[in-house]
Chain A
Amino acid sequence: MLATLHVLAVENGDGIELLPEAPELIWGFVAFALLMVVMFRFVFPRINTLLEERQQAIQGQLTEAEQAKGEAEELKRSYEAQLAEARDQAEEILAEARTQAETLRREAAARGEDEAAQVLARAREDGEAERARLVSELRGQVAALAVELAGKIVEKEIDAEQHRELVDAYIDELSGLS
């Protein structure tokens, strides 16, 4: 095929050249080789170090982020624990308050009942005492009245001492009847 092309190229001087010219081949190759040297010596080492640096930077950032995430999780966990604790405490306090209130109520009720009973008892005692006092007072007065009345009726002066005994006996009889 190359031979055919060579024949074609030689036969037709004014067609497109299909055989390379030595200077162009040499200079083109030299230019390309120089570019290769420059790229291999100066550009690609830098690209490689750059990529490595970038990789390291990204790696560092990633680990940093991982760390921060861990810290945040730790923080969150502690907060949650605190929150749970606080909730427990609140519940405890509430229950305590509830029982306290219950006991208070019960105590108050009991005390009230006691007091009422006391008041009632005192009132009863008072009443009893009053009655006793009244009874004794009444007894005196009734005796005097009766003596007076009897003196008036009988017109016979009875010895006061005898009289009192009589009346007392009478009253005792009465109170025994009543």
Chain B
Amino acid sequence: MRTLPVLAAAEWGGEFEGALEPINSLFRFPYFADWGVFSINRTILIAWFMTLVAGAVFLVAFRNPQIVPGKLQAAAEGIVEFVRNEIAIAIIGPKGTRFVPLLVTMMVTIFFLNLAKITPFMMLPPTGRIAWPLFFALIAWVVYVGVGIKEQGLAHYFKELAFPPGVPKVLYVILTPIEIISNLVLRPFTLMVRLFANMVAGHILIVITLVTIHVFLPSFPVGWMLGVFGLVASPLVFGFELLIITLQAYIFTMLTAVYIASSVEPAH
């Protein structure tokens, strides 16, 4: 697949030929330790590092917790309080406090994995590889189905799920397949695709911005202005990506909470 046919103007100084081709080369990195299914590549190292950072931040923040918090502790507490009040309690209700640790861990991990997208020397979000959104979505799916079965009982949960009450019986012919697919397949699938596509789009955007600078800035007379434009635009692009990163972490956690809420108390 060819990308960027307009920008790839070699005759104007832009030597894009092969820079972004194939598009997969932006995301897929070769394995340098080949141990079968336990092989390691650059993306995995980044994911490890970012997970480590996420854990370290919380461990350091709560290493010696004070009643009157310091700066880092106040920030970490702010995150926990936010998830607790704005997501768990506001969406799930009083029962939501049980899910605060899971939701906090999920949000923080997704945030830090996304953050690798604009972190210097990494510049690659592990969540831009389908594996990470997939297992986050799987965790959300397992949790909300498990909670539904635990709270309502196996038979009752699936009955409510497939045959929503308060609907004329004839409509079940259409409604039941839709409900089953939407509740059990589309929910995790959209969770996965939302995070994945946002990260892919953001990564491509950043790569295009940086490659534009790299390619056009040295070619002084003609394409130079385009390089300067890229140079000016890149901080804005990074800021925008930071916004997307935070928002996606928030939305993923919030939707997980919404799905858990629908399992805790079925819609009537």
Q: Is there a contact between chains A and B in the complex with CB atoms less than 8 Å apart?
A: yes
**A16 near B23 (CB under 8 angstroms)?**
yes
Q: Check A22 for interface membership: any CB of B closer than 8 A.
A: yes
Within 1-29 of A, Cβ neighbours of B (below 8 Å) are at: 1, 12-29
**B135 near A25 (CB under 8 angstroms)?**
yes
Q: How far is the CB of A60 from chain B (nearest CB, A)?
A: 11
Stretch touching chain A among B126-134, B167-175, B240-248, B255-263: B126-134
Q: How far is the CB of B56 from chain A (nearest CB, A)?
A: 9
Q: Which among B44, B105, B134 is the interface contact of A39 at CB below 8 angstroms?
A: B105
**B40 near A28 (CB under 8 angstroms)?**
no
- Residues of A within 8 Å of B131, CB to CB, are 20-21, 24-25, 28
**B189 near A23 (CB under 8 angstroms)?**
no
Q: Check B119 for interface membership: any CB of A closer than 8 A.
A: no
**B22 near A13 (CB under 8 angstroms)?**
yes
Q: Which among A1, A18, A26, A35 is the interface contact of B37 at CB below 8 angstroms?
A: A26
Q: How far is the CB of B199 from chain A (nearest CB, A)?
A: 11
Closest to A53 in B: B67
Q: Check A62 for interface membership: any CB of B closer than 8 A.
A: no
**A38 near B55 (CB under 8 angstroms)?**
yes
Within 146-174 of A, Cβ neighbours of B (below 8 Å) are at: none
Given A28-B47, A34-B51, residue A23 in contact with residue B38 (CB < 8 A): yes
Within 87-138 of A, Cβ neighbours of B (below 8 Å) are at: none
Q: Which among B23, B51, B55, B77 is the interface contact of A15 at CB below 8 angstroms?
A: B23
Given A14-B22, A20-B129, A23-B44, residue A39 in contact with residue B104 (CB < 8 A): yes
- Residues of B within 8 Å of A79, CB to CB, are none
Q: Which among A12, A18, A36, A46 is the interface contact of B130 at CB below 8 angstroms?
A: A18
**Cα distance A26–B40 in the bound complex, in angstroms:** 10
Q: Check B28 for interface membership: any CB of A closer than 8 A.
A: yes
**B62 near A14 (CB under 8 angstroms)?**
no
**B109 near A1 (CB under 8 angstroms)?**
no
Q: How far is the CB of B60 from chain A (nearest CB, A)?
A: 10
Given A15-B24, A16-B23, A24-B43, residue A35 in contact with residue B38 (CB < 8 A): no
Q: Which among A13, A25, A31 is the interface contact of B51 at CB below 8 angstroms?
A: A31
Closest to A50 in B: B65
Closest to B101 in A: A44
Q: Check B41 for interface membership: any CB of A closer than 8 A.
A: yes
**A35 near B130 (CB under 8 angstroms)?**
no
9 contacts between A and B (CB under 8 A): A14-B21, A15-B24, A21-B129, A24-B41, A31-B47, A39-B58, A47-B80, A50-B67, A54-B67
Which B residues lie at the A interface, using CB under 8 A?
1, 21-24, 27-28, 31, 37-41, 43-44, 47-48, 51, 54-55, 58-59, 62, 65, 67, 77, 80, 100-102, 104-105, 109, 126, 129-132, 134-136, 139, 185, 189, 200
Which A residues lie at the B interface, using CB under 8 A?
1, 12-29, 31-32, 34-36, 38-40, 42-44, 46-47, 49-50, 53-54, 57
